[in-house]
Structure 1
Amino acid sequence: MTSPPPTPPAEVPSDEQFFRFKETGAPCEGIEEYRPGGFHPVNLGDTFHDGKYKVIRKLGAGSFSTVWLAVSTGTPRYVALKIMIAKAPGTNTELCILDHLSKQAPGDIRAQHVTAPLDIFQHQGINGKHQCLVFELMGGTAASVVEELPENKPKKYGKRQRYPKWMAKRILLHGLRGLAFLHQNGVVHGDVQPGNLLFSIADISPTEEESLKQDEASTAVPVHRVDGKADRWAPKNLYLKQPLYDRVQVGPETCVKLSDLGSAFWLAERPSKTVTPIGLRAPELILHQSFGLGIDIWSFGCLIFEFLTGRALFAIGVFGCSQKAQEDADDEHLIQLNDVIRPLPDSMMTVWPRASKWYTPDHQRLQPHSDEELDSDEESYSDVEPYIYPSLEELFAEEKSPEIDDEESAVVCSLMQQIFEYDPAKRPSAEDLLKHPWFSE
């Protein structure tokens, strides 16, 4: 008789040779994260909260949670069950924020554009105690629904996937209303991105459970330990997500909601860092300065460009995990800001530690000769002309939907320029933006 495997450590080993599982190669949550403090192993048919919720389908997963379609014994009949990892950071803050917002929601129509929990409970599992949040069902994110639109199928290499203008505008308007509600109540979202904007769905309460169950045959990903032993801390299978894309309401009834307050924080209690996607970071985040509501507004400005063009405004990559890789990404981001938005002011150049590698004292761009010289104390540069990124206006004119004429293009670019103020104190508020003519048309 072989001995059972030992309890895995709370942290994932940095060396792959100590991994417990064979690589699945599937676009699911990391299997190594099923360990004490990590994900709760969910098998289809599992029940939660004394049998009140039964899991029948996987809707998605993130760094700190998995989300499931569950059958409820109450009303509504079907709900989304979000199960946090046991050591999820900021869970208490999220619960306090959700509680506060739920008390403010009845008197504020904008609250309908922020997902609100229907139930909150804790579940004790093999990997620890997990916070569980129950939400109304939604039909997919703004990052994914665009791929399911008829006009974007079949997928072709090089074909631009963008929303029709009316849908892009609806997503932005509803997301902005959600932001205004949060900001009015002293809450910073901290992770405003397409993946956190959810589409509503038609009522599916009359639908038979059988027709909503996970298609296990095509979505189950078997889990195997390297040593061949059974594992107590992980599920038997991972599952590919099956969002409710086919239930999304596309038309006058389309409603979009800002979701996932797991990274949100009180304006009065600012954290030292955020999880804002790298290309959506405001200048104060890149330069590690104090930040507040303005980071949400800046990210929102980037989304205006993204939803109307089908491409990101700032394409920033981090190549590696080293400090130098992060610094290179930060430098590239600031260079793009300088070219695309407007030249960086002296106040930003002064606090940018490596500004002198890229610009002369009078803000003229330098072209480094090589990486070796960049890393040395020598200031040797080639005479090759540095690449200058096109301006915001040029990029938008090139990438915008044909539905947007030159006159509207000028209005949209002016709106984005108002948002892209380097000084966060000068950026418009969400309330200010809601009054802009482009959103009220």
Structure 2
Amino acid sequence: MPSPPVTPPVELPPGRQSWRFKKTSACCEWVELYRPGGFHPVSLGDSFCAGKYRVIRKLGDGSFSTVWLAVSTSTPRYVALKIMVAKASTTDTELKILDHLEKAAPAHPNAQHVTVLLDIFQHQGPNGKHQCLVFEPMGATAASLVEELPENKPAMKGKRQRYPKWMAKQILLHALRGLAFLHEISVVHGDVQPGNLLFSIKDIKSLEEGELKQDEASTAIPVHRIDEKDDRWAPKILYLKQPLYDHVESGPNLHVKLSDLGAAFWLADPPSDTVTPIGLRAPELILHQPFGSGIDIWSFGCLVFEFLTGRSLFAVMMLSKEQEEQDDADDDHLTQLNDIIQPLPDSIMAAWPRASIWYGPNHEPLAPYGEGEPPHIHDSLEVLFAKNKPDEIGDEETAVVCSLVRQILQYDPAKRPSAVDLLKHPWFSE
């Protein structure tokens, strides 16, 4: 009888020679993350919270959690069960914020655009104690539903995938209402991005379980250890996610909610850093300066451009967390701000340690990659929008949208409009 495998370390393997499992090309969570401190191994049919919730379908996965559709023994009948990794279980701050939201929601009309917690409990598994959050089931994210729209199929190389203008406008309006609610109760979201905007679904309470359960035949990925031993820290099968695309309310009753408050913080007590996606960072985040609700507004301004055009406003990449790679990404981001929005002010130049590599004493652009090469200048906001906008947006509306984005993307956070101010903008009420 073979000896049982040793407990894997909490730290991720440094290279393939340390992997426990055979490689898969499946588009789901990395199986090596099933280890002490990591994901909880879930199998379809598993029960949680003393039988209160039973898993029937995988809705999604991320860096810190997996999300499952579960049958509830109480009402509502179906819920979304979010199981956090053990080492990053929900912080006291997030729990207090979620509790604060639940209490404030009934009195605030815009609360309907933020997902509200239904239940919370802890689950002990082979990889540790996991915080489990229960929410109403939602449909796809705004990052993924665009690929499922009939007008974007079939997906072809070079074909722009974007939402119709009316949908983009609704998504943005609902996100703005969600931000208005959070900011008015002194909460900053901290991670405003398409992946955290969820579409509501039609009522599924009356649907039979068989209509909603996972399609195992097409989504099951068997897991095999390299040494062929049984692994108690990982599931025997991984599942591709199956969002509730078919049940999304994508017509005139479309409804979007801000989700995932894992990076949220109190306005009066900001953390030292955030998880805002790299291309959506406000200048104060790039320069590691104090920040507040203005970072949400900046990200939203970037999303106005992104949802209407189908491309990111600032194309910034960081391939690793090494300091040199971070510095290069920051420099690239700041040069794009300078060209696309407006020249960087003296205050930002002074706070940017490597500004002299890119700009001369009179802010003239330099060529850091070699003598004789002209410095690269990015197109302005107006040129980029005109190049990428849909045909249904004419010249007059183009001017309105670009003016709106410029109004939002102020380098000084104090000059950015609030979410409540933006809701009064004519473009959102047309």
Place the TM-score, normalised by the shorter chain, in its bin: over 0.9
Instruction: Tell me how far apart the structure 2 counterparts of residues 92 and 26 of structure 1 sit (CA, whole Å).
Output: 34
Name the CA distance, whole Å, in 2 between partners of 1:346 and 1:140: 43
Match of 1:130, as an amino acid?
A: H
Match of 1:424 in 2: 413
Q: Tell me, in whole angstroms, the C-alpha distance in 2 between the residues paired with 1:117 and 1:347.
A: 41
Counterpart CA distance in 2 for 1:19 and 1:269 is 40
- Partner residue, 1:252: 252
Preserved CA contact (<8 Å) 1:145 1:245: yes
Equivalent residue number for residue 308 of structure 2:
308
Distance 1:390 1:15 in 2: 41
Q: What corresponds to 1:153 in structure 2?
A: 153
CA offset at residue 111 of structure 1? 0.3
CA contact (8 A) 2:90 2:131 kept: no
TM-score by length of 1: 0.96
What is residue 230 of structure 1 aligned with on the other side? 230
Structure-1 separation of matches of 2:263 and 2:30: 20
CA RMSD of aligned residues (A): 1.0
2:348 is matched with which residue?
348
1:387: which partner in 2? 376
Q: Distance in 2 between matches of 1:212 and 1:369?
A: 55
Q: How does 1:27-42 map to 2 (within 5 A)?
A: 27-42=27-42
Query: What does the per-residue CA deviation read over 1:113-133, in whole Å, with 9 as the maximum and x for residues that have no partner?
Result: 000011111111111111111
CA distance in 2, matches of 1:269, 1:369: 41
Which stretch has the larger CA shift, 394-403 or 13-22? 13-22
- Mapped partners of 1:88, 1:180: distance in 2: 28
Counterpart Cα distance in 2 of 1:126 and 1:59:
22
Does the residue aligned with 1:10 lie in a helix, a strand or coil?
Answer: coil
**Aligned runs of 1:292-303 on 2, under 5 Å?**
292-303=292-303
- Partner residue of 1:335? 335
DSSP 3-state at the match of 1:87: helix
**In structure 1, C-alpha distance between the alignment counterparts of 2:362 and 2:342, rounded to whole Å:** 15
Instruction: Check conservation: 2:141, 2:196, Cα contact below 8 A.
Output: yes
Indicate conservation of the 8 Å contact 2:84/2:90, yes or no.
no
Give SS of 2:86's match: coil
- The 5 Å alignment of 1:137-152 reads 137-152=137-152
Deviations 1:215-247 (A, max 9, x none): 111111111112111000000011000001111
Secondary structure of the residue aligned to 1:121 is strand
| Equivalent in the alignment of 2:193 | 193
- Aligned counterpart, 1:435: 424
**Cα distance in 1 for residues equivalent to 2:30 and 2:290:** 33
Determine whether 1:123 maps to 2:140: no
- Compute the displacement of 1:16 (Å): 2.6
Maintained 8 Å contact 1:65/1:84: yes
Amino acid at match of 1:47: S
Mapped partners of 1:243, 1:99: distance in 2: 27
Decide which of 412, 415, 429 is 2:401's aligned counterpart: 412
User: Hey, which bits of structure 1, 4+ residues long, moved more than 6 A?
Assistant: none
Work out whether residues 152 and 161 of structure 2, in 8 Å CA contact, stay in contact via their aligned partners in 1: yes
Unaligned runs of 5+ in 2: none
Q: Is the 8 A contact 1:223 1:238 kept in 2?
A: yes
TM-score, normalised by the number of residues in structure 2:
0.98
Q: Deviations over 1:308-327 (max 9, x none)?
A: 00111011111333211111
- Is the 8 Å Cα contact of residues 89 and 131 (structure 2) preserved in structure 1? no
Aligned match of 2:287: 287
Task: For 2:266 and 2:11, locate their aligned partners in 1 and report how far apart those are by CA, in whole Å.
Answer: 29
Which residue of structure 2 lines up, in the alignment, with residue 378 of structure 1? none
> After superposition, where does 1:78-157 map in structure 2 within 5 Å?
78-88=78-88, 91-157=91-157
Give 1:168 shift. Answer: 0.3
Question: Where does residue 207 of structure 2 map in the other structure?
Answer: 207
Alignment correspondent of 2:168: 168
CA distance in 1, matches of 2:359, 2:90: 39
Partner of 2:390: 401
Structure 1 residues 281-315: Cα deviation after superposition (integer angstroms, max 9, x where no partner): 00011111111101100000000000000111011
- The worse-fitting range, judged by mean Cα deviation, of 222-231 and 339-348 is 222-231
How far off its partner does 1:89 sit? 5.6
Determine the structure 2 residue equivalent to 1:379: none
The answer to whether the 8 A contact 2:56-2:214 is kept is yes
The SS at the match of 1:232 is coil
Secondary structure class of the residue paired with 1:242: coil
**Residue 343 to residue 89, structure 1, CA distance change in 2 (3 Å):** farther
